[in-house]
Structure 1
Amino acid sequence: METGDAELEEIPMLEEISRQIEGHTICALGDAAAWPVQGLIRKFRHKLVERIEDPSSFKPEDHAQTAWAGAPFKNQGWVDKFADGSAYKANA
């Protein structure tokens, strides 16, 4: 999905996989790993569909992905003030 290579059928597949994880592991972290996926689908299915149907309309610079991709944060002032430089400052 991030690269624009996803199908609509993958949304229910993700939900099904998350349901299979939840309650079927001896580790509580298994359940916790499934919940964000379920919440994303429950609250933002329309955004997932929108992005899959037209991946060219997605502009990463409008979202937090730019920070994770190594691009500078939009709120660099906050980063300079509060971050210690080990994880939050972009090197780009």
Structure 2
Amino acid sequence: MCIRKISFFCICSLYFICINFVSVFGITNRYMVHIIGYIALLLNTFSMTMKNLLYLRVVSLIANLIYIFYGILLGVPPMIVGCALAILIHSYRIFKLQKEKKQ
């Protein structure tokens, strides 16, 4: 339950940070926006090459956070929702992996 609240808080915070980031820095250039998308793509692809499941989850979670930022900049709600769900799943699995590691 706590991870869900933290993940929801992180997603909401990221949304407001993105809005402020766009208004302050004026990211309207499509090339700059797509560079952010390619960074997320590279991180996500890199996470798939990892053998350690915990590192895979963490890097993929970070990639999904960047994808949310990218989706906000493009104004694509399905991308935002899909990545938010992936963040919840990754957060839960990271929690389970840490719990198993302690036992």
Q: Classify the TM-score, shorter chain.
A: 0.3 to 0.5
Higher normalized contact order (CA 8 Å, seq sep 6+, divided by chain length): 2
TM-score normalized with structure 1 length: 0.40
Structure of larger gyration radius: 1
| TM-score, structure 2 normalization | 0.36
